[in-house]
């Protein structure tokens, strides 16, 4: 099914639009399981959601599940995805930290940690998954070439992703080389998907994801096969969509 695409005035408006749909889901399904991404893209969603909570939305029964986590950083390292989600989501929404589940990137046995996380997600079922997109079309840490049948697994970050993420660390050397990530098949099991992207640097990946061939070389292109995907973009991220559909 073709994803629904909304083009909003700016990333703040995009965040507000996504947050409104998530708030509506929580009102009808108070014990929803919501998959959350890290990085810059979803931050306006979390800011807007915090506004709903301050206005009285009850999120105490929601379970929040991270998409991915670096491998090899101590759990409380400030750049671990758990720490990032505690700052961006748990604190502003006044959540119980136990309601946030993250793959255990500090585990002695990362393969078992991946399998345990996959089992947890499969048992609960994800009602709605929030996604950003990498400039190379990755979702989660599923880099180009990842199998469409992948479940939660240990993966290597590409150099381009390490460089893109180096802005959060004091240097490229500090960026981990490996991670645990929900796989593409895991992401596809979510009942609904909300992808948010902003800025021209995402335009090519967005256009390939939505209108390009469905190929493991562009992991996000698998979303064309999902029955309920909502894509919310600013004008920059949407800037190649018309051109790309016209070329088909
Ligand atoms: C984050 C994640 C990544 C990011 C992507 C975009 O948990 O898994 O796929 O969503 O790299 O990152 P930003 O939003 O920082 O541009």
pLDDT in tens, 201-226: 999 999 999 999 999 999 999 999 99
Structure tokens at 223: 């979303």
Place of tokens 């190649």: 240
The region, left, alpha or beta by phi > 0 then psi within -120 to 50, assigned to residue 170 is alpha
The residue annotated as part of the active site, out of 69, 84, 127, 143, is 143
Q: Does the residue 61 lie in any domain?
A: yes
Q: Return the percentage of the chain with pLDDT > 70, whole number.
A: 97
The closest-lying atom of ligand 1 relative to the alpha carbon of residue 37 is 7
Number of domains observed in the structure of the chain = 1
Q: Let me know if residue 239 belongs to a domain.
A: no
Q: Name the residue of 70, 133, 161 whose CB sits within 8 Å of the most ligand 1 atoms, as the mutation to test its pocket.
A: 133
66-75, 128-137, 182-191, 239-248, range with the lowest pLDDT? 239-248
| Integer Cα distance of 245 and 193 in angstroms | 22
Substitution candidate for ligand 1 out of 39, 195, 218 with most atoms within 8 A of CB: 39
Is residue 153 in a domain? yes
Give a yes or no: residue 232 inside a domain. no
pLDDT for 247 equals 45
What does pLDDT average to over the chain? 95
What is the pTM assigned to this prediction? 0.96
Does 1 score more than 70 pLDDT? Answer: no
> For ligand 1, atom 11, which residue shows the shortest CA distance?
134
Judge whether 192 lies within some domain: yes
Residue 146 within any structural domain of the chain: yes
Over pLDDT 90: what percentage of the chain? 90
* Residue at 245 is within a domain: no
Establish if 233 belongs to a structural domain: no
| Residue 135 Cα to ligand 1 middle (Å) | 9
Q: Which among 200, 189, 210 has a CA at the least distance from the CA of 65?
A: 189
| pLDDT over 80 (residue 246) | no
Mean pLDDT of 39-63: 98
pLDDT tens, 157-206?
999 889 988 988 999 999 999 999 999 999 999 999 999 999 999 999 99
Q: Please answer whether residues 21 and 28 qualify as being in contact, where contact means their C-beta atoms are separated by less than 8 angstroms.
A: no
Per-residue confidence (pLDDT) for residue 161, from 0 to 100: 87
Task: Pick the residue whose CA is nearest to atom 12 on ligand 1.
Answer: 39
16, 136, 153, 211: the catalytic one is: 136
Q: Which residues have C-beta atoms less than 6 Å from ligand 1?
A: 37-41, 67-68, 132-134, 138-141
Q: What is the mean pLDDT of residues 144-152?
A: 98
- Gyration radius of the chain over CA positions: 17
More confident residue, 94 or 2: 94
Mean pLDDT of the region 29-41 = 97
Supply the range of the domain harboring residue 68: 4-225
β-pairing verdict for 229-233 and 192-197: parallel
Long-range contacts of 74-82 (CB under 8 A, 24+ apart): 74/106, 75/104, 75/105, 75/106, 79/168, 79/169, 79/174, 80/105, 81/38, 81/105
The arithmetic mean of pLDDT across residues 115-135, rounded, is 97
Report pLDDT digits (tens) over 5-19.
999 999 999 999 999
Q: What is the CATH classification number for the domain harbouring 60? A: 3.40.50.1360
pLDDT of 74 above 70: yes
Kindly report the protein residue whose alpha carbon is nearest to atom 9 of ligand 1.
Answer: 140
| Model confidence at 244: pLDDT above 70 | no
């Amino acid at each position: 099914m073709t994803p629904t695409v909304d083009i909003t005035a700016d990333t703040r408006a995009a965040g507000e639009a996504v947050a409104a749909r998530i708030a509506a889901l929580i009102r009808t399904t108070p014990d929803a399981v919501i998959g959350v991404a890290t990085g810059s893209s979803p931050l306006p969603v979390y800011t807007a959601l915090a506004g709903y909570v301050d206005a009285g939305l009850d999120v105490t029964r929601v379970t929040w599940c991270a998409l991915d986590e670096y491998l090899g950083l101590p759990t409380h390292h400030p750049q671990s995805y758990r720490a990032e989600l505690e700052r961006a989501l748990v604190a502003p929404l006044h959540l119980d930290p136990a309601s946030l589940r993250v793959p255990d990137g500090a585990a002695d046995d990362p393969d078992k940690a991946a399998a345990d996380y996959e089992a947890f997600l499969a048992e609960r079922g994800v009602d709605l998954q929030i996604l950003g997109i990498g400039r190379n079309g990755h979702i989660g840490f599923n880099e180009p070439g990842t199998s469409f049948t992948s479940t939660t697994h240990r993966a290597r970050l590409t150099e381009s992703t390490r460089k893109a993420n180096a802005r959060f660390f004091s240097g490229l050397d500090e960026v981990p080389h490996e991670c645990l990530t929900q796989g593409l098949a895991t992401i596809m099991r979510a009942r609904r998907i909300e992808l948010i992207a902003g800025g021209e640097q995402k335009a090519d990946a967005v256009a390939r994801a939505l209108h390009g061939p469905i190929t493991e070389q562009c992991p996000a292109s698998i979303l064309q096969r999902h029955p309920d995907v909502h894509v919310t973009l600013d004008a920059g991220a949407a800037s190649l969509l018309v051109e790309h559909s016209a070329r088909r």
